[in-house]
Structure 1
Amino acid sequence: METKVTHHIALDFFVVIATVFTAYILQGIIVPLLFSIILSVVLFPVVSFLERKLRFNRIFSAVVSVIFLCTLIIAVFTFIGIQLESIISESDSYVAKIEKKIIPLIHEAEKSTGLKSAEIIESKNLKMEKMVKDHFSSITDFLFASGSILGNMIVVPLYMFFFLLYRKFFISFIYSLCERRCSKEDAKTILTKLYNVQQNYLVGLVTVMFIVGVLNSVGLLLLGIDYPFFFGFLCALLLLIPYIGILIGSLLPALVAFATKDSFWYAIGVIGIFSFIQFLEGNFITPKITGSKVSINAFVSILSIVIFAMLWGTSGMILALPITASLKVVFDHSTNFKVYGFLLGEPTEEFLKSRARRRLKIWKQIRRNKNK
C-alpha cells in the first residue's frame, strides 16, 4: 500500500515537471492561445448580443467583435504612448531640476565619505544626467513592454476569431474528450464554472481598475502633480500585474513630483498614497467586488505569480491568477486532484482560529460554571 502511494506521488511529480517543461518550451504557442481564450470570454457576450438581438451571422459577429476589441486596445495604448512621449520630451528640464536637488545631497555625502562631488557627478560610471535619463527610459520601456504584449501578438486576433466562430465545435470536442471520465452534464458544469470564473475575474478586474484609477487620480490631484488622471489610470492599468503593478506604476509620477515640486516629500507622498491605495485594493476593493467568485488564497496567488513570472515573464504574471483559478475549478471536480483544489482555495474559519482564543473561551466557561 505504501509503495503504491509513493508511486502515485512520484507519478504526479513527474507529470508536473513534464507540464512545466512543456509550457516553457512551447510558450510561444501556449501564451497567445491563453490570451486568446481569455479575451474570447470577454467578447462572448458581445458576440451573443450581435447574433441574438441584431441577427448577425456568426462570422460577421465574430469579425465585428474582434475588430472592436483590437481597436479599443490600440486606441488606449496609442494614447498612453503619446502621453509618455510628451512627458519624456520634458525630461531635460526634469533632469536639470533633479540635479539641483541631488547635488546638495552629494555634497553631504562628500563630507561623510571623503569623495569629491565632481568625481561623483562627472564619473563615467555615474554621470547624473545619464543616470536619470536611463531611469526614465527603463520605466518607459517597462510600461510599453507590459502594455503592448497583446498588441505584439499578431496571431491573437486570429485565434480569437476562430474560438468564437468554432465555439460549439470545440465544446463538442471537449465533451467527447471527457466522456470516459465524466458525464456530459459534469463536463458542462465544469465548462460553465470555468467561463464564470474568467468572466467574473475580468469584469471584476476592469471595475477595480476604474475605482483604483479614480482614487489614484484624486490623490495626485490633491498633491498637485502634473498629469494626474493620466498617471492615475496608467497605474490602475498596471493592476494587470497583480500586487506589484501599481507600486511599479507609482515610480514615474514620483519622479515627476520630485522634479517639479519644491520638496522631496511630494515624491514620498505619491508612493505613500499609491501604497495605501494598493492596500485598499488588495484587502477591501478586490475582495468586495470579486468576492468568492475567484476563491484562491493569498499565498497561492503570490506563489503562482512568482512561478508564472519565472516561466513566461510579464505575460506569466498577467496570466497567473486566471490560470490558477481555472485549475482550481478543474481540481475541485476531479477525484484524484480534489485535494489540490482544497489547497488552492481560501481556508475556512476553523483553520484560522488560534488556540489562545479557544483556551480563553474554555476559561470563561469555567468561570461561569464556578459563579453558578
Structure 2
Amino acid sequence: MNDTLQFPFYAKLSSILLILISFSFIFFIGKDIMTPVLMAFLFAVLLLPVFTFLNGRLKFPRHIAAAICVLLFALFIAGILAFISYQVTDMANDFGTIKKNANAFLIEIHQFVKEKFQVSIGEQKKYIDNVTKDSVKNGSSTLGSALVSISDLLFNCTIIPIYTFLFLIYKDHFILFLAKLISKENHQTLKDILCQIKVSINNYIVGLIFEMIVVSVLTGIGLWIVGIKYFILLGLITGILNLIPYIGILIAGIITALASLTGTSETSILLSILLVNVVVQLIDNNLLVPLIINSKVEINAFVSIIGIIVGGAAAGISGMFLAIPLLAILKIIFDRIESLEPWGYLMGNHMPKKFTWRLKKLKVEN
C-alpha cells in the first residue's frame, strides 16, 4: 500500500517558496553567525583533499591533520597580506608626490569644469566645502561604524579558522547525522549529493583562484606597459578585489588611479588605466568567467545576478561572495530530488536548441 500523499501543484509551490523565504529570513537575522560558518564550510571543503591525504595516506591523527591544513591555509593568506603590507608601506613613502600630483590634477579638473560648464573655481570650492562640512558632521557615526566593522573582521579572522578545523575533524559525524535524517533507500542519493557538492565547490574555489591569478597578471602587465610604478601590487589588489562581484573592480580602479599619482598627474595616464581595466574585464567576463566559473557551477547568469544582489542585501560583501556556491549547492540538491528537479533546471545554464508549443485545433460541433 502506498502511503505517499500527493499534493496539488499550488501546494507544492507554496511549500517550496515558504521554505526558501524562511531560510533567507533566518540567514538575514543571523548573518553575523551564519556568514563565518558558511565561509568556514567552503574553506573546509577546499582543504578536504589535503586533510584526506594527511589523515588517510600519511596516517596523521585527525586533529593534527586538520590543524596542519588550517595552518597552511592561514600561512598562505598571511603571506599575501604581508606582501601587500610591504608594498603599501613602500608606496606611503611617495605620499608627498601623490599629494602634489593630486592637487595638480584637481586644478585641471576645476579648469575643465570652468571652461565647459561656466562654473567659477570659487563656486566649485564652495560646493566642495559644503559637502565636506556635511561629511564631518556625520564623522562620528562613520567612525563608530568603521570601528564595529574592524572588530567584526578581527572576530571573523579568529573564528573562521576554528570553524574550519571543527568541520574537518567532525566531517564523518556530520555525514552520519544527515544519513540518520533520511531513510536507507535514499542513502545513495545523499552520497551522490555530497560528492557532487564537494566536487562543485572545489572546482569553483580553484577556478576563482585561477581567475584571480590571471586577472592579476593581465592587469599587472597592462599597468607596466602604461608606466605605473607599483604595477605588481596594483595587479594583485585588482585580482583579489575582482573576487567581489561588480563592485570589486570599481574599487580596484579607484585605488589604481590614486596610486598612479605617484608618478604623474597627467589625465592620459588615468585614461590608460581605465583602458587597461576595461580590456581586462572584457577578457574576464567573456573568456575566463564562462570557461572557469560558469562551467564549474552551471548556474545561469540571470539566477547568479539575482543571487548576488540578494546575498549583498542580506550580508554585504560576504553574502555576495557566498551567493554563487550556495546557489550551486541548491541546484545540486534540486537536480537529485524528483519533485524539485524543475527548479534545478531553472537555475541551470542548459540552452535548449528549440522549443515550440504544439496546440491542436479544437473543432466545435453544432
What's 2:173 paired with? Answer: 169
1:292 aligns with 2:295: yes
Change (3 A) 1:227 1:164: same
Distance 2:318 2:294 in 1: 25
TM-score by length of 1: 0.82
| Residue identity in the other structure for 1:240 | L
Alignment check: 8 A CA contact 1:37 1:163 kept: yes
Q: 22, 27, 30: which one pairs with 1:26?
A: 30
What's 2:53 paired with? Answer: 49
| Residue identity in the other structure for 1:219 | G
Distance 1:126 1:257 in 2: 26
Secondary structure of 2:215's partner? Answer: helix
Q: 249, 263, 266: which one pairs with 1:263?
A: 266
1:171-217 Cα deviation digits (max 9, x unpaired): 1111112327x621111000000000000001111111111111111
Secondary structure of 1:336's partner? Answer: helix
In the TM superposition, what is the alpha-carbon distance from 1:112 to its structure 2 partner?
5.5
1:158-307 paired onto structure 2 within 5 Å? 158-179=162-183, 183-258=186-261, 260-261=263-264, 263-290=266-293, 292-307=295-310
Change (3 A) 1:112 1:203: closer
1:318 aligns with 2:302: no
Change (3 A) 1:343 1:252: same
What's 2:335 paired with? Answer: 332
In the TM superposition, what is the alpha-carbon distance from 1:85 to its structure 2 partner?
4.2
1:87-116 Cα deviation digits (max 9, x unpaired): 345334312212212213313433555544
What's 1:124 paired with? Answer: 129
Number of residue-to-residue matches in the alignment: 339
Secondary structure of 1:96's partner? Answer: helix
What's 1:360 paired with? Answer: none
| Residue identity in the other structure for 1:247 | L
1:100 aligns with 2:90: no
| Residue identity in the other structure for 2:189 | D
Distance 1:163 1:342 in 2: 30
Distance 2:294 2:26 in 1: 33
| Residue identity in the other structure for 1:242 | P
Distance 2:237 2:110 in 1: 33
What's 2:16 paired with? Answer: 12
1:233-277 Cα deviation digits (max 9, x unpaired): 111112321344233312211233256335312212212211221
Distance 1:322 1:114 in 2: 51
What's 1:369 paired with? Answer: none
| Residue identity in the other structure for 1:199 | N
TM-score by length of 2: 0.83
In the TM superposition, what is the alpha-carbon distance from 1:8 to its structure 2 partner?
3.2
1:142-157 paired onto structure 2 within 5 Å? 152-157=156-161
Alignment check: 8 A CA contact 2:311 2:319 kept: yes
What's 2:348 paired with? Answer: 345
Alignment check: 8 A CA contact 1:332 1:338 kept: yes
Identity fraction in percent: 28
1:17-71 Cα deviation digits (max 9, x unpaired): 2221111111122111111110001111111222233321111111111112112
| Residue identity in the other structure for 2:283 | L
What's 1:362 paired with? Answer: none
Q: Which runs of 5+ in 2 are unaligned?
A: 1-6, 357-366
Change (3 A) 1:162 1:259: closer
Distance 1:151 1:61 in 2: 24
| Residue identity in the other structure for 1:331 | F
In the TM superposition, what is the alpha-carbon distance from 1:346 to its structure 2 partner?
0.3
Distance 1:104 1:234 in 2: 28
Distance 1:106 1:26 in 2: 47
Q: Which runs of 5+ in 1 are unaligned?
A: 355-372
| Residue identity in the other structure for 1:69 | F
| Residue identity in the other structure for 1:168 | D
1:104-133 Cα deviation digits (max 9, x unpaired): 331343355554424533652257xx99xx
Secondary structure of 1:296's partner? Answer: coil
In the TM superposition, what is the alpha-carbon distance from 1:223 to its structure 2 partner?
0.5
Alignment check: 8 A CA contact 2:66 2:168 kept: yes
**RMSD over aligned Cα, in angstroms?**
3.0
